[in-house]
Structure 1
Amino acid sequence: MEVRTLSDLLDHPKLKGRVGLLTEMRDTVGMTLLDLDKDPAKFAADDYDAAIARLQKAVDKGQVRRFTGNDYTADLTKGDLAACLAWAGDLVQLKADNPDIDFLIPDSGYLTSSDNMLIPNKARHKTNAERLIDYYFEPKPAARLAAYINFVCPVDGVKDALAEIDEDAANNPLILPDRAMQSKSRAFRSLSSEEETEFEEKFAKLTGA
């Protein structure tokens, strides 16, 4: 069978007990919100509860094998998981190791997040830190980093520099998304401290953490 939606993961009987979801609340709940036709950038508390209820139903009927971090890669390789939510950077290596593993972006969209470089307040070497950050946003250093980590590169104009290192990486939408893929990208909205605590507690109860 071909998995095309999150509903396929949560409902299809052929996948029962062989589905993996992520322990990262924003990714798993965000993808569920999208499947429920809700915008993760604008959702209300009731929408969050509906997403948790949707996931809980799948857990209760034994559809979900487990919630994982990066260790889903081993479960896929062993065949313990038939399908799962996954991170783009892992997929590049997974596909290199096993051509039978593939990915699909649901029509409802996918979640994008970012790691951020920060400079502590009153840092003694603020200028040096700023120079280092600027360096990583130059095309050639950004290309070397993208070729190494295989995650989405945020730097415009990096494709030619990346192609000089690894042409396959330069043409891989998991590293440099094309416009069609970019159009499906969604972000999870910022949470207040109260929401963060409440939502994480509900998710922890769901996952058994």
Structure 2
Amino acid sequence: MPEIAFSRRAALRGIGAAGLLVALAGCGVPSAYVPEGRRGGPDRSGRDRSVAFSNWPLYIDTDEEDEERRPTLEAFTRKTGIEVSYSEEINDNDEFFGKISPALMNRQDTGRDLVVITDWMAARYVRLGWVQEMDRAAQPNVAAHLDPQLRSPAFDEGRLHTVPWQSGITGIAYNRKALGREVKSVKDLWHPDLAGRVTLFSGLDESFALLMQGNGVDVTRWTEADFHRMCDQVEELVRKKHIRRFTGNDYTSDLAKGDVLACQAYSGDAIQLKADNPDIEFTVPEEGGELWSESMLIPNLARHKANAEALVDYYYDPEVAAELAAFVNYVCPVPAARDVLAASADKETAELAENPLLFPDGELRKRLAVARAVTSEERRSFARRWNTIAGL
């Protein structure tokens, strides 16, 4: 199991490179928009059996004795003859946007065939036309095994341009023993016994959905009024010093050390937190939790599009998906991988099939929702207000 020091959903710290996108956007189509017919280029996949794949650190299986080896990638190469140039260069969505956006704006190859970014950022790439549509006819595993709940997000209807790499749940982690009670609701965070002992995520995109769900909002169709109502509440809690601070991935150390008793948290981190301290619990609130994904996409003018599509489809083979899920411990976007894990002769591996944080059951799924992303028109004013509250 990977270390918990790095959280897969790096917090958005201000408008940053995203401000560039807003600046490009007028009342209509962004000036950097690339129409569908101009996104592709000569595909060298047939004569150059390679693919350049950029991902986040600690987000793929590694060999126990040699962390430089990645068993599933090595198996892909043996199966297809396609060599994978794998880079763990993505540490922050905005930072990576700033790194490759100049090439995409100028309609140049980024040097990458496949990248993994969080869906709220992927929404920007799709809106700008910076992503190529994948050939689903060449991806039978994706067509057969993609989780139905993830098949058609609002920003990419039908998942034509993106495919989830892994998913996760934003919920609440808390120390049940130290708190002396259960946390079942977002409203439970505002109880007087948690004054000064609660943290929220500092990133707008990471924070807002769960907090709105606490107000009974359908986050698949939230409104500007819902956003400002939520901000009013959080602003008042900050004024009263109920919220200790706003965090990035360092929330895990706050909870582990006992500096906080409850916090917004990600399901994948919670598995490791509980392994280190059995008193740590993770809950999806009664009002609901956010189901999010980090997805693979093929940038415009990628030189090995067919090879990238083959790699995407390979990870949707249930056997491969199970191997990856057992290592990274996030929500697997391939439900059929559950049966593979359940059949394992290794007891610890087989038990993963029963973990609802990897394979949410029917009751849990009823409380999960994929939130509507913040639009480019909303982002500037929304981020300004949220960042003022969070002290960014």
> SS in structure 2 opposite 1:115?
strand
Q: Which residue of 2 aligns with 1:185?
A: 368
1:13 is aligned with what amino acid? P
Counterpart-to-counterpart distance in 2, 1:179 and 1:128? 35
> Post-superposition shift, 1:57?
1.1
Q: Which residue of 2 aligns with 1:3?
A: 183
Q: 1:168 aligns with which of 344, 351, 359?
A: 351
> Post-superposition shift, 1:24?
2.8
* Greater strand content: 2
Counterpart-to-counterpart distance in 1, 2:198 and 2:373? 28
Q: Which residue of 1 aligns with 2:388?
A: 205
- The equivalences for 1:3-42 within 5 A come to 3-9=183-189, 11-42=190-221
CA contact 2:197–2:244 (8 Å) conserved in 1: yes
> Post-superposition shift, 1:39?
1.1
> Post-superposition shift, 1:46?
1.2
Counterpart-to-counterpart distance in 2, 1:4 and 1:192? 31
> Post-superposition shift, 1:184?
0.6
1:181 is aligned with what amino acid? L
1:192 is aligned with what amino acid? T
Residue range with higher mean Cα deviation, 132-141 or 66-75: 66-75
Counterpart-to-counterpart distance in 2, 1:160 and 1:203? 42
Counterpart-to-counterpart distance in 2, 1:157 and 1:129? 22
2:234 is aligned with what amino acid? L
Task: Name the TM-score, length of structure 1 as normaliser.
Answer: 0.95
Q: Deviations over 1:139-197 (max 9, x none)?
A: 01111111111100001311122232612211110011001111111122133212122
- The question of 1:105 aligning with 2:284 is answered yes
CA contact 2:186–2:287 (8 Å) conserved in 1: no
Residue range with higher mean Cα deviation, 187-196 or 96-105: 187-196
CA contact 1:119–1:126 (8 Å) conserved in 2: yes
Counterpart-to-counterpart distance in 1, 2:228 and 2:270? 30
Counterpart-to-counterpart distance in 2, 1:100 and 1:178? 23
> SS in structure 2 opposite 1:116?
strand
Counterpart-to-counterpart distance in 2, 1:135 and 1:95? 31
Counterpart-to-counterpart distance in 2, 1:101 and 1:156? 26
> Post-superposition shift, 1:37?
1.2
1:173 is aligned with what amino acid? P
> SS in structure 1 opposite 2:209?
helix
Runs of 4+ in 1 over 6 A off after TM superposition: none
Q: 1:194 aligns with which of 377, 382, 386?
A: 377
**Count of residue pairs the alignment pairs up:** 208
Counterpart-to-counterpart distance in 2, 1:40 and 1:202? 19
- The question of 1:125 aligning with 2:308 is answered no
CA contact 1:18–1:80 (8 Å) conserved in 2: yes
> Post-superposition shift, 1:70?
1.6
> SS in structure 2 opposite 1:86?
strand
> SS in structure 2 opposite 1:27?
helix
Q: Gaps (5+ residues) in structure 2?
A: 1-180
1:189 is aligned with what amino acid? R
> SS in structure 1 opposite 2:249?
coil
Identity between Structure 1 and Structure 2 (%): 43
Counterpart-to-counterpart distance in 1, 2:334 and 2:216? 30
Counterpart-to-counterpart distance in 2, 1:19 and 1:114? 25
> Post-superposition shift, 1:122?
2.2
2:238 is aligned with what amino acid? V
Counterpart-to-counterpart distance in 1, 2:241 and 2:309? 50
> SS in structure 1 opposite 2:229?
helix
Higher Rg of the two aligned structures: 2
Q: Deviations over 1:82-105 (max 9, x none)?
A: 011100000111111110101222
Task: Name the TM-score, length of structure 2 as normaliser.
Answer: 0.52
Counterpart-to-counterpart distance in 2, 1:98 and 1:20? 19
CA contact 2:205–2:374 (8 Å) conserved in 1: no
